Amino acid sequence: MIRISGLLLSALMVLSACATTPPEPTLGPDGKPLPKVYRIRSGETAKIQYRMLDSVNALREAAGVPSVQLNSQLNAAAATHSRDMSIQNRPWHFGSDGSSPIDRVRRVGYAGQLVGETISETYETETETLAAWMEKDTTRNVILSPEARDMGFAWLQEDNGKIWWTMVLGK
């Protein structure tokens, strides 16, 4: 009996040595935890675009407006702008050549009209970014516009993890 108890105690000590506690989060200068870098792997483009499309359409359905569909031309306009914002190192709606969102959708051959564009510079996932856009009237109004029928969504992720997100809606 003593031998079995000794073996059990030894086994418990070995198992307890294997248990690890989660690491403490790294804190920023403001005392808040720094965000974990969300890394987008190559080959995930379609997965992320359709996850965003499904999320947007769920929000649109809840608001009682028609769903949107992904449009390759608007995806191209969004990708161009995400890349350009990274080059300029600022999130804004004008391209380095002075182009507007209207100019960009025309350049890619989109036959419809621009409804609006939402942009973001962040380290957050696409769904966290969508949630942030939904908190602001201006971006929420674009996402839930009853006129919208087409959506383009793209990004550029820098080596440091920063992501430049762009969503373009058209009709």
Cβ atoms of 165 and 126 within 8 Å: the answer is yes
Cβ atoms of 52 and 126 within 8 Å: the answer is yes
Whole-model pTM? 0.78
pLDDT digits (tens, 9 = 90+) for 128-170: 999 999 999 999 999 999 999 999 999 999 999 999 999 999 9
pLDDT digits (tens, 9 = 90+) for 25-47: 677 788 877 666 777 778 888 89
Report the DSSP beta bridge partners of residue 108.
none
Cβ atoms of 71 and 152 within 8 Å: the answer is yes
Angle between helices 45-63 and 126-134 (to 10 degrees): 30
What CA–CA distances, in Å, run from 2 to 12, 13, 103? Answer: 15, 16, 83
Hunting for tokens 């483009």 — which residue is that?
45
Q: How far apart are CA 75 and CA 80, in angstroms?
A: 9
Cβ atoms of 169 and 145 within 8 Å: the answer is yes
Q: How far apart are CA 167 and CA 82, in angstroms?
A: 9
Report the DSSP beta bridge partners of residue 122.
163
Domain ranges of the chain: 48-170
Token pair of 75 as six digits? 């995806």
* pLDDT confidence of residue 107: 97
Cβ atoms of 74 and 85 within 8 Å: the answer is no
pLDDT digits (tens, 9 = 90+) for 45-87: 889 999 999 999 999 999 999 999 999 999 999 999 999 999 9
Looking at every residue in the chain, the average pLDDT score rounds to: 87
Query: Using alpha carbons only, how large is the chain's radius of gyration in Å?
Result: 23
What is 48-170's CATH topology? Answer: Pathogenesis-related Protein p14a (3.40.33)
